[in-house]
Every structure is written in C-alpha cells, then in structure tokens.
Structure 1
Amino acid sequence: MLGRLPFGLLALVVGALAAADSKEGSVADYAPQTNLACPDVSAQPLVRIFTPNTQELNAHEQAYVAAREAQAIPRAWTDWVGDGSAIGYDVSAFAGGGKNWSRVGIAISGGGYRAAQYGAGVLSGLDARNESAKAAGTGGLLQVASYLSALSGGSWLTGSLFLNNWPTVKDMVYGNGGNLTGWLLDLPLATPDGDDLFNDKNQAWFGSVLWSVEAKANKSIDTSITDPWGRMIAYHFLNQTTRGNFFTNDTAHGAGQLWSHIPQTPAWQALQPPYPLICADSRPVGSNSTAALTPEPVVYEITPHEFGSWDPNLSSMVNLTYAGTHFNNGQPDNSTACVTGFDEASFVMGTSASLFNQILDFGQNFLGSFDKDDGASLLYVLARQLRSVRTRADDVANWPNPFHNVANSTFEDSNSTWLELIDGSSNHENVPLGAMFVRARALDVVVAVDGSADQATINWPNGSSPIFSSQRMANILQASHQPFPPIPTTPEQFLSTGVNQRPTFFGCYPQKNPPEWPMVIYFPNSPPISGEDPVSNTGTFKLSYTPKHTRLFLDQVHNNTIGGFTNGSTAADPNFGKCLQCAAVDRARIRSGANVARSDFCTQCFFQYCYDPNNPPSVSQIAGRKYDFVDPDPQGVSRVKGFLGDNKGPLIGGLVGLFVFIAALIGFLIWWKKRSRRIEYQRVNNLHEEEDKAPWRLFKRGPSASSGRYPLAYELPEHK
C-alpha cells in the first residue's frame, strides 16, 4: 500500500511502476525470492563453522585474491615503484619475481556523506588513473591493494565503486556524460525535492521507496527503517538514477542489484578491483539497547560471497546468496525453504549505516542529530511503512540468523532466529580495521582512511577509532587477528603528537621476522596543508552538498593525500609519494630473507612519517593550519549572513542614506495630504454653506474569520 497518497498521484505512481517492469526493472525488484529449492547441503554446506586456529578464507575469496596477486598486482607494483632505484632499492632482490610483494588492504571509515566524499578524495590520490596522483608518486597504491573494507558512509562509496564497474572517482562522483550521472548530492538524501514533505514530487518518491519495502515485506520478511534508508541511499550511489528520472519509475533505481552479483561485473572479471568487505555491528537480540556498544558484541562482515564473523565467539560464515534463509544448526528449515536476493546492495549499504537505535526516540517521535526536515522525512516514511507491513525491530537492520544454534556456549545470539545489525561504528570502531587484521588474510600493510568527526565543533578525527580497534584486538581478538602496532594510547596523545593532522606510518620498527604486526598507514581527515579554509570537516548528518562544495571537498582531500606534510611549513612534501612507496614495500623487504637493509632514502622518510613511541613527534611540527569549517557555497540564510558580513560598511552607509530619504519622503507626503484635505474641505464648504458641518466618523471593521492551513500530521504507531 502507498499510504496517504492522493488518488491521482497514487494512480500515477502505480502506472509508472507498471510501466517500469518493461524498461529497466521495477523498484519492486527489491523483494527477495522465497520458498526456493535448497542446494544439497550435505554435499556443499551453506554454513561453514571453524575456530580461530582452523580459520581459512572462503574458496572464492582466496581464488580471486590469488588470481590478482599472480596476474594483475605484480604489474601494478612495477608500474608504481619501477625497479625501486628512486627509493634506494633493487626490488628484484626482495620481490621474488613478483611473488613476494607486500599484501595491502585499505579501510575506509564511516561518517555519512562526509565519509563517502573523504574516502573518494583519498582513493583518487592513490589511484594510478589520476594524473596528478601518478605524478606525485602516490597514484598506484590503490592498484596494488588486495582488499578494501568499509563501513557506514564508506560502504556507500564502496558500493558505488563496485556496482558501477570500478570507475574513476571523477567519473563516479561527477558523472562521465554517458552511463554515469554522478552522485547528485545536491538533492537531499531524505527530502530530495525540498523541505515540503507533502509536495507531489516528494510524495511520489516516498511512494516509490515504500513500494520497494512493501514488496519485500509481502514475502513475509520483516523490515525496518533501515530498508527505506537503504533505498534512499541507492538513488545516489547505485546506477539507473539520473537527475531527469529521480522522481519517476522509469528504472528500478538500483533495486534488484545484489552484493553477491559483484563478481559478474566486467571490472571484476578483469581482476581490476580489490576484494571488498563491508562491516556492521550487532545489538544483542532482546537488549533493545539505545546506547553505544561495548566491545564484546559480534562484528559482522559482508563480502560478495559470505556473511558472518571471524570473532572467536562465533567463527562462522554463510553463503551470501542464501543469507535470507532461516537456518538451524547449519540446516535450512526444509528442502524448499531457501531465500535468495536478500543481499540487496542498497540493504547491505543501509545495514552498515543503520544508526537509528541510538537516535530514534519513539516516545517523542524524534530523530536526534538529524535536522528537522530530514528527521521528519524519515519518521514520516517509517510511520507509513509501519501502517502497511509487519516489522520486527524497527530501529535496526533485521537479518535472519543463519547461525541459530551455532556456538551455543559462546555466541550471544545463538538462541535467536534473527539478528539485529546496526551501524558498523557503533562500538566506536569507525575505521573497519578488524577485517584487515584477520590472520587468514595475512595483510602486511593496512591503509586506514579516517574520516571521523571526533572533535567537538570542528569535526576532525582524534584517533579514537584506531585506539578502540587496538584495544579490541588486544582484549577480544587475540586468537583470531594479528596484533595492532604501537600507536598513541589516548586521543590526547593523538592530538599532542599531531598524528591526527598528517599521514603517519605506524609499526615501522618490528622486532621479529616475520613482523609481529602489519604496517598501518594512517590518512586522517585534516585541515588543508596549504592553509586554506577547510571544507571537509562537515557533520555526519549533513545530507546534501552543492556541486561546488563537493568539488572543493574532494580537491582538498586529494591534495592532502598526495602532499604529505613538511615540518613547520604549509608546503607539500615533493617526496611523499616515494615515502609512501617505502612504507608499502618495507614488509616485503623484511620477509624476503635476502637481508636487504632499509635504504638511506627510506630511513629518512621513516624519520619524517613514522610514529616512534620512544621518540614521538610533536604537534608543533604542524604549521599554518585553519581548523574551523568555512562554508564554500552558502545557501539561503547562511548566504545572506555571509553577504552581510562581507559588505558591512557599504551596507550601513546605504541604509543610513535610505533612512534619510524615506524620512524626507514621509514628511513630504504628510504635508501634501494635509494641504489636499484643506483644499477639499474648502470646496465642500463652499457648496454646502447652509448645511451643518458633521464630523467625520471612522468605523473599525470587525474581525473576519480567516482560514488557516493545517499541515498534515504524522505519528509513529505505538511501539511494540
């Protein structure tokens, strides 16, 4: 059902949806397929269970990573570092004919549109397809990466990259004049046609979003606010949506695009992208918690092939194609109880960004942190959804539990038939580093792209996320994950050392061979090294960006990524690209057994960029930065305020002059009116000399009834 749409508009939406079936799919393609015949799980189990000591990669993941490392990555390393002479090495001495290169992963943080754009800016600075990145020497790291993990807003970027066939950042964000029309971030995420929820375009769009969700619910699968949230995300980050068809149903707007179908894309077949991992946290079922998570609850990951967790208290995975199926001890309920198509790309991206359990106040009909219009829009859509379909937990992402009765003694949700998944940063790990440290993946280098907004009012990272990841690995994940390298142990130390304002290498000085931890290359969102006004430290709940703001945002992040930093200066480091190459190859040098000493050039780079806990750097090395956000493209009231501030003197003078002119004009009009009345009075008096002079009477007109316009109201039903 489409709720309270006017009849004419309802007919328009239904007609458009019916027409869409014959074009590029329908928004109703969001519905999974149910009651399907299941594979023979005795021959090919859909759920695999292991232990930290017996963990191994999914066969398809292992095959894809191995194929890239055999065919694509050696060539990419050669394209990036050449023979190594520029950084003081003969790489043939430790690259092992292309078989011994470092295994690299990139982890992209959450933070809504800010995180998606920050991650995009960093990736453009690491992409050999970008000319300025290639010239700086940083472009190439993306091509040698074997893994790419993301959560929340970072998952929106990742989904956009993989479901749009691995385009360049420029083509993906701005469009390419052909099959890509860009992210359209100037159309607000929750109210794309402006603040009026009840105008025709917004109502048609809400109807389309809800049509998708209701199609899923009609298959007896519980939904929640995460479902329309994910569908809203799809209109910007998946394909099939243009500015011209945004409010129509000429296409499915990403419905029917599955995460498990990523391996079917041409870029994947050509071994171009790294292997993607999307992370989400879990709220223990039945807790109904609205607080931030402690470190103990399971962290899940979603790959193109599996869904599950490496955490020691679960250590289980399910085939992603059948993740919507109810399993009991690894077995489907019956031979025709299987579900496919549950892994909608938009639902995966929405799950990783499902932050509603901490900000949705059912008693007050209020979404904290969202501005009034966006919060009102999401609550309105949820209210209409709950009037139409069945739900389970309204404020989380509802996933059938494929691990029902698995690991009964350690897994907190083993007795539940459903899982409650929430935003991947809910346990304070906003950069998805856990997936990168899984022992079976054996990564040597992890690039941490931190777009967090930890510092109050100025929205820059303070290192909280890697600190929490380090603590979780030390206290909970020792058996299943690699150790974390030494880092500052408190946010205050991150700030005092200045490593939250520049690229930093952690783990440069291992004591063992093989090294006891991976090298971590940290790229925090930070003020422009040039001293420009910053535009990238926006709020997590800013749900629209003008094209000018997005362009300046990406440019600043890109320039920081390729620029490194220079001690006490606002100048870029011309050697940073080569220093990045030093960090990337260092583990291969150590592991090779060829006894190759660290080159003098790389030693100098490490002195500048490495964090040495025995000789930590100082924030005094950072110079000329501006920290307060400056809106580069003010709109509405903010634009007026900016104009007034920039033109205060001339405006005051003009206003004084205008006041004097108006006063003189009023004085003249009063004099003219009195003169006219005297002339008119004399004329009437001459005509009616014999009549009494009756006084003028002024009658006040009584109050008239006015018709007020009452906005349509919306309420959430009473919460179960």
Structure 2
Amino acid sequence: MTTPDIFISLQLALHIVLSCILTFTVAQNPVDTYAPTVNVNCPETSGSLVRTFTPQTQVLNTSEAEYIASRESNVISNAWSNWLGNASDIGYNFEDLQGKFPRIGIAVGGEGYRTAQYGAGVLLGLDWRNTTARDEGTGGLLQVASYLSASSGGSWLLGSLLMNDWPSLLELVYGNGGNLSSWLLDLDLIVPSSPLVSDGGNQAYWGSILASVESKATTGVPTSVTDLWGRMVAYHFLNQTTRGNFYTNQTSHGAGQLWSQMSHLPNFQNHTIPFPIVTADSRYAGSGITTNVPLNSTVYEITPFEFGSWDPGLSAMLPMHFAGTYLTNGLPANPSACVTGFDQASFVMGTSSSFFNAVLNVTEGTFGFNTDDGDEDGMKFIFDQLLSHTPSSNVMDAANWPNPFKGVNSVTFQDSSSDRLELLDGGSNLEKTPLSSLLVKARGLDVVVVIDGSADDGNLWPNGTSLITSFERISSVLSSSHQPMPPIPGTAAQFVSTGVNMRPTFFGCNLTQGQPAYPIVVYLPNAPPLDGSAPATNTGNTQFSYTSMFTAVFINQAFWNTLGGFKPNTTSPDPNWGKCLQCVAIDRAVTLRSDFCSQCFAQYCYDPNNPPSQSELPGRQFAFVNPDLGGLQKVTQWLEENKGRLAGIIVTVILVIAGIVGFIFWWRKRRARRSRYSRVDELRDDDEPWRYYENRSLELTRRMSIT
C-alpha cells in the first residue's frame, strides 16, 4: 500500500470513529425539546387561521395593540418624566408635553458577532439603568421606545435580552456572578474547544447540536443548516449555558425556549420591554438564489404573537403559536394537523441570520470560512453528519418554514403555490437594519432610531447602503403599506462625502406642508472613536470568536461614541449631545421648537439643500487595530480555567527537576570519590608519605645494629 493510500485509509478510519462518537453522543443528549409537536388539534374556528388584510385595511394584531397601549400608558409616560425631568434643560415645560409623547422605535441591524456587540454598546448608552449614560443625557431613550426591531446579528442581541428577561446590558454581556452567565464569545461559534475536528470538546458540542436537530427531523418537519446554526447561537447567547456546562448535557442549552412564550416573562407582562420584532428575508421557493435577493422578495417578521408579512404582495399573518403548520387557504389538512413548538428562539435567531445561500456549496459541502481557525473544517464535518441523518429532499442552504400562506393572494404572493418558505438573513436584500418593519403604517411611529453596524467599505464601516436600500424598497415596493422615508443622501458616495456615515445624524427634521408625513430617522452608524484613537469595532462578518478583552474594548468604544455625539472640526465629544437626543425624541410633540433644540438641529440635521462635509470630522483613524493582539486575554483565561491542572503539572515538574538535580549531585559525588581512589592506586612509592616514615625507621634500625 502506498503512502497516500495509507493516509486516505487513516482519514476514513478517523471519520468512522468520530461518526460513532457523535452517534453515541446523540443518543445520550437530553436536548430533544428542540423538536416541535406535530398532529396537534387545531383551534376550533369556523374560519381561516391566517389573518389577511390589504395595505388600506391593515390593523395591528389585537395583542400587539393592547401591549403598546398598556406600555405607553403605564410605563412610557413615567420613563419620559425620568428622562426629561421638567424639560427645562431643553427649553420646554414638561407639563405641556403630557399626553403628546411621540411613538419611537429602534432598529438594530446585523452581521454576526460584530453587530450583536455594536448593538449592545449602543443600547447600553441609551439605557436609563446605566448611570453614566443617564448622567450624559442619552440614557433613557431605550425606556421611552415602543418598538425594538432586529435582524441577523442584531436578532442575537434581541433574543438574548428577551429570553433572559431584559437584564441590563452589562449583566447580559458580562454576567452577574449569579444566575446570569456572560455571553461566551471567546468560545468560537463553530469550533469552541480547538481548531481540531477530532477535539473531544468539539465532538461533545456538535453531538448535542445534532441531537437537537435530529429530534426535529424525526417528526417529519424539514431541517437545514440553519437549525445547526441556530443551536450554535443558542449556546453563546441564550440562558442555560455556562462555561462549566458548555461541553456537557446537563441542560438543554436553550432548546425548548419558544418565541411565542415570550409573553409569559415577567418583564414582558409588566410591559417593561419595547415590543420586539425580528425580520427575515426570503427567496422564491426552489429558485436557489445564491446572491442578494431582489427588493420585491417578501420580507417576513416574527413577533411573540404573529408570523407573516406586511408587504402588499402577501399582507397576511399567522398566530406565532402555530408556526410550522402547513395550511392551504388558511386551513389545515385535517383538524389535528397543526404543529406547535416550531418557533424555537434559537431557530428564530438562526433564521434571521441564515446567510448560507451565499456561502454554502451544497454539492461539495464547503462554506468558504477561514481554514486557519478550524471553522471551515468544523462546519463541514457537522454539516456532513446532518446530511447523513436527514432526508435528502430538504433544502439545506436556507431556513425551511412550512408555508401557512399557500393559496393566499395567488396573483401577488411569490410563494402562494409552494409548500415551504425559504427564509434568509435579514440583510439578504441589503436592508441590513430592519427599518421597514418600523415604518408599517398601522404602527404609526414618529421617530425611528437606526443602529447600523454594517461593514460596507474597505475598512468595514457603514456607507449608508442599508438606509438607501430601505428608501428604494419603500418607494418602489411598499409605498401603499408603509410610511415614506425622509430625504437622505442618494448614494453611498454621498453618504461618505457628507460624513453622515461617521457621526450621529437626524434625517427628516423639517416637514413641510403638503409632504407625506414621515418619521424622523436618527442614524447611529458604527464609526471610529471620536478622539482619534485606534478603532476596534470594524471587524469582519465571519469573525466567530472574540477574547473577553476584545469584547470589553469593542463595547466600550461603541458606548462612548453613543454618549459623545460629535463637535464639528474637533476630536472632542459634544457636551450637549444627550440633550440634543432628547430634543429630537420629543420634537414631534412640540409646536414651536426651542432655541436650544434649534441649535441642536442645526448641528445634527441633514439638509439636502446644504449638506455637511466629511471634513468636519478630522483626526479619525479608519484602519482596524486588534486590541488583544496575540490573545493575551485568552491565555490568561485559559490559565484561570486550567489552574488546578496546571498546579499539578507545576508540582510534577518541580519534583522531576528536584529528582534530576539530586541525581546530578549524587552522580558527581560518586564520580569524585572514584577519581580519588584511582589516583591513590597510581601514586609512585616515593610519592607515598607512609613509605618515607617506614624507610626512615628501617634505616635507624640498621644503624643501631652496626653499632
């Protein structure tokens, strides 16, 4: 047998052994609560399970409307009072604003770990619970928001906040030392234990993930690579997983946590949480599109109460509890053909970030990930295992959702004749921040805050592409169902030349009579530090691990930029930025703008007739600088986690060294003694002192005998 043949045989043997290990692990894992329940009795209703409407008759789901009304009446009014005080600092009287508070929404965009961290840093700067943000005047905007939408990596942040019952951002990211573990971003999303496929920790991790997905597959519900992806996300962002149990089967690691059960959480019941929305794009079922999808592709939203789309082509919603059910014209095949438990939180988060249509080569099973850190090999291995255990008819590079809208709007809905929906990353149409969901006419928002962490240019900073896409999509596809957007720069080049891609900007400050009513858009793009220090927040989409030190630096930079605003032609923060943010938030409730707020709007508003210039932002560094080069923090963390084992190794090494030193001393002493004896044997007689005294005695005796 030749050397290559031996090598191939060894590889095959390794693959078989690892497969056996995974099969055994799958059989042992207690994570099958990921499986939906099929053949459930459907609600006894004389009509359709699907709610349909038109752009002209759209209304909110009853539960959503009740939630918003209760939050705005019982929670937000007090939050406005906390944030603005008596409003005299911004030139108003708070009593005059009562009952006229604007409705605000926040959109968190996404592209992996980067945007989850960027969103966390910005929300931390908008959170009243953070004393520094509160003192600077920015903390409080989060509390007065009615809606919070997210997609892709932003959905990881939102899902983590929701399923952990709305903790502070610092507790969420770093843990609280008690019942809340930190985000585990230093453990690689795909190969957390080591870059080696054969590593035991990786095998345990993948085994549990495969067990979850296979439990779903055995029910007959289709699965895909998105199921694997969502379960990986769960380990790093949902509760039930800690460093201590990460590679064990002690918990279900987020399996069984349902999006439709979010309403049972205490802070949701208390209306503390802005109403959450997660979005996902779609492609025409069976099209196999591997590029960006067109603007008219249906965009879906997922809330605690409903799944569906406000797009004019569909205009239909299904109760979230029954997501995963096949329906035709809104009806099941039989009274017990409903499905529940499909809306796993990890699957929702995975669906919104499912970018595999662009990176997965299904034929070869390759992903185009970095091969140096093991992500490519790891993802390929677990994907191959999934293929060997699931039906080959499944579409693997998109999230498979059974289509509940079959037969609905057959003329305008792209998937009206399909049994499945193929859902993709929320930025697949280039609208990377889910602004459109907040502009649905029925929601009636006055202010929308856009947290844009996109990596558009060569240095991985935003260049306005997401806002431009939203503008184009609303103008061309959603004009009948959504509010219009205010004027913005028309191209990415104009976003860059005006500098509004690198600083906070208000769009739509001045409505003129006769114009369609649009909300004010507050744009908060990821940008270099104001003071000109080295940036650390412009990382790549497929960086799947961050050391603890890296995360701390990252979030710190996003946080201080959120608190800083900008001062034209300086590298200093704006001491009035917090008050200016209060001005724009309350602006639609006032009839006459105060002098102070007018000054703020002159600085922060985009005027298409007199645009600003990027030259007003001097001294910024744009090239990324790794804040933890060499992974010093990871080394420190490894030492901490392995200190017991390391102590034993150190003691062993000391004993071995002591033994070696002792042996050397013994050997040298023995050698010296043998050397001394050898020299005695080699001495001549006249060199031996006792010979002198013996000869002297014989000479004296001889002389005495002669005498």
TM-score category of the 2 structures, normalised to the smaller one:
0.7 to 0.9
Q: Deviations over 1:521-575 (max 9, x none)?
A: 0000000001110000000100000000000000000000011001111111010
Q: CA deviation at 1:620?
A: 0.8
Opposite residue 495 of structure 1, the aligned amino acid is: V
Opposite residue 154 of structure 1, the aligned amino acid is: G
CA distance in 1 between counterparts of 2:559 and 2:19 reads 49
Name the residue aligned to 1:204.
204
Residue 416 of structure 2 is aligned to residue 414 of structure 1? yes
Q: Deviations over 1:186-210 (max 9, x none)?
A: 0000001010011111111111100
CA distance in 2 between counterparts of 1:321 and 1:514 reads 40
> Does structure 2 conserve the Cα–Cα contact (< 8 Å) formed by 1:31 and 1:213?
yes
Q: CA deviation at 1:92?
A: 2.2
Q: CA deviation at 1:356?
A: 0.4
Opposite residue 267 of structure 1, the aligned amino acid is: N
Name the residue aligned to 2:59.
56
Name the residue aligned to 1:455.
457
> Does structure 1 conserve the Cα–Cα contact (< 8 Å) formed by 2:22 and 2:203?
no
Q: CA deviation at 1:484?
A: 0.3
CA distance in 2 between counterparts of 1:11 and 1:401 reads 32
Q: SS where residue 146 of structure 2 aligns?
A: strand
CA distance in 1 between counterparts of 2:509 and 2:279 reads 27
Larger radius of gyration: 2
CA distance in 2 between counterparts of 1:62 and 1:360 reads 40
> Does structure 1 conserve the Cα–Cα contact (< 8 Å) formed by 2:26 and 2:211?
no
Q: 1:139 to 1:639 in 2, by over 3 A?
A: closer
Name the residue aligned to 2:93.
90
CA distance in 1 between counterparts of 2:522 and 2:589 reads 15
Name the residue aligned to 2:656.
none
CA distance in 2 between counterparts of 1:47 and 1:14 reads 37
CA distance in 2 between counterparts of 1:539 and 1:47 reads 40
Q: Which of 27, 45, 48 matches 1:41? A: 45
Residue 32 of structure 2 is aligned to residue 28 of structure 1? yes
CA distance in 2 between counterparts of 1:361 and 1:469 reads 29
Name the residue aligned to 2:152.
152
> Does structure 2 conserve the Cα–Cα contact (< 8 Å) formed by 1:16 and 1:248?
no
> Does structure 2 conserve the Cα–Cα contact (< 8 Å) formed by 1:503 and 1:565?
yes
Name the residue aligned to 1:579.
580
> Does structure 2 conserve the Cα–Cα contact (< 8 Å) formed by 1:16 and 1:250?
no
Name the residue aligned to 2:646.
none
Q: CA deviation at 1:639?
A: 12
CA distance in 2 between counterparts of 1:441 and 1:57 reads 7
The within-5 A match list for 1:542-581 is 542-581=543-582
> Does structure 1 conserve the Cα–Cα contact (< 8 Å) formed by 2:107 and 2:148?
yes
> Does structure 2 conserve the Cα–Cα contact (< 8 Å) formed by 1:87 and 1:582?
yes
Q: Deviations over 1:595-614 (max 9, x none)?
A: x3110000000010000101
Q: CA deviation at 1:507?
A: 0.3
CA distance in 2 between counterparts of 1:31 and 1:5 reads 27
Residue 446 of structure 2 is aligned to residue 444 of structure 1? yes
Q: 1:597 to 1:169 in 2, by over 3 A?
A: same
> Does structure 2 conserve the Cα–Cα contact (< 8 Å) formed by 1:5 and 1:203?
no
Name the residue aligned to 1:684.
none
Q: CA deviation at 1:363?
A: 4.1
Q: CA deviation at 1:153?
A: 0.3
Residue 83 of structure 2 is aligned to residue 80 of structure 1? yes
CA distance in 1 between counterparts of 2:190 and 2:371 reads 11
Opposite residue 625 of structure 1, the aligned amino acid is: R
CA distance in 1 between counterparts of 2:124 and 2:416 reads 42
Q: Deviations over 1:477-498 (max 9, x none)?
A: 0000000000000000000000
CA distance in 2 between counterparts of 1:415 and 1:71 reads 45
CA distance in 1 between counterparts of 2:348 and 2:634 reads 37
CA distance in 2 between counterparts of 1:49 and 1:6 reads 50
Q: 1:587 to 1:5 in 2, by over 3 A?
A: farther
Residue 546 of structure 2 is aligned to residue 511 of structure 1? no
The within-5 A match list for 1:129-528 is 129-371=129-371, 373-390=374-391, 391-456=393-458, 458-512=459-513, 516-528=517-529
Q: CA deviation at 1:375?
A: 2.1
CA RMSD of aligned residues (A): 1.8
Name the residue aligned to 1:106.
106
CA distance in 2 between counterparts of 1:588 and 1:379 reads 55
CA distance in 1 between counterparts of 2:466 and 2:541 reads 15
Q: SS where residue 331 of structure 1 aligns?
A: coil
Q: Deviations over 1:409-466 (max 9, x none)?
A: 100100001000000100000010000100000000000000000002x100000000
Q: SS where residue 173 of structure 1 aligns?
A: helix
TM-score, scaled relative to structure 2: 0.86
Opposite residue 201 of structure 1, the aligned amino acid is: G
TM-score, scaled relative to structure 1: 0.84
CA distance in 1 between counterparts of 2:65 and 2:361 reads 44
Q: 1:157 to 1:538 in 2, by over 3 A?
A: same
Name the residue aligned to 2:629.
634
Q: 1:555 to 1:397 in 2, by over 3 A?
A: same
**Which aligned segments of 4 or more residues in structure 1 are displaced greater than 4 angstroms?**
3-12, 369-372, 636-640
Opposite residue 25 of structure 2, the aligned amino acid is: V
Deviates more, 1:396-405 or 1:356-365: 356-365
CA distance in 2 between counterparts of 1:503 and 1:397 reads 35
Name the residue aligned to 1:123.
123
Q: Deviations over 1:104-159 (max 9, x none)?
A: 00000011000000000000000000011000000000000000000000000000
Opposite residue 599 of structure 1, the aligned amino acid is: S
Residue 525 of structure 2 is aligned to residue 530 of structure 1? no
Extract unaligned runs of 5+ from structure 2. Answer: 1-14, 636-707
Q: Deviations over 1:598-649 (max 9, x none)?
A: 1000000001000010111110110111111000101279999xxxxxxxxx
> Does structure 2 conserve the Cα–Cα contact (< 8 Å) formed by 1:515 and 1:587?
no
Q: CA deviation at 1:368?
A: 2.4
CA distance in 1 between counterparts of 2:18 and 2:87 reads 68
Opposite residue 318 of structure 1, the aligned amino acid is: L
Name the residue aligned to 2:604.
609
CA distance in 2 between counterparts of 1:290 and 1:163 reads 32
Q: Deviations over 1:200-225 (max 9, x none)?
A: 11111111100000000000011000
Opposite residue 13 of structure 1, the aligned amino acid is: T
Q: 1:639 to 1:544 in 2, by over 3 A?
A: closer
CA distance in 1 between counterparts of 2:324 and 2:513 reads 44
> Does structure 2 conserve the Cα–Cα contact (< 8 Å) formed by 1:9 and 1:200?
no
> Does structure 1 conserve the Cα–Cα contact (< 8 Å) formed by 2:230 and 2:351?
yes
CA distance in 2 between counterparts of 1:5 and 1:483 reads 59
CA distance in 1 between counterparts of 2:371 and 2:602 reads 45
Q: 1:284 to 1:203 in 2, by over 3 A?
A: same
Name the residue aligned to 1:620.
615
Percent identical among aligned pairs is 53
Opposite residue 60 of structure 1, the aligned amino acid is: S
Q: CA deviation at 1:473?
A: 0.3
Opposite residue 426 of structure 1, the aligned amino acid is: S
Name the residue aligned to 1:688.
none
The within-5 A match list for 1:685-696 is none
Opposite residue 40 of structure 2, the aligned amino acid is: L
Q: Deviations over 1:279-325 (max 9, x none)?
A: 00001011111111110110000000100000001000000110111
CA distance in 2 between counterparts of 1:513 and 1:77 reads 30
> Does structure 1 conserve the Cα–Cα contact (< 8 Å) formed by 2:563 and 2:578?
yes
Opposite residue 235 of structure 2, the aligned amino acid is: Y
Q: 1:637 to 1:130 in 2, by over 3 A?
A: closer
Q: 1:177 to 1:588 in 2, by over 3 A?
A: same
Name the residue aligned to 1:657.
none
Q: Deviations over 1:631-688 (max 9, x none)?
A: 0101279999xxxxxxxxxxxxxxxxxxxxxxxxxxxxxxxxxxxxxxxxxxxxxxxx
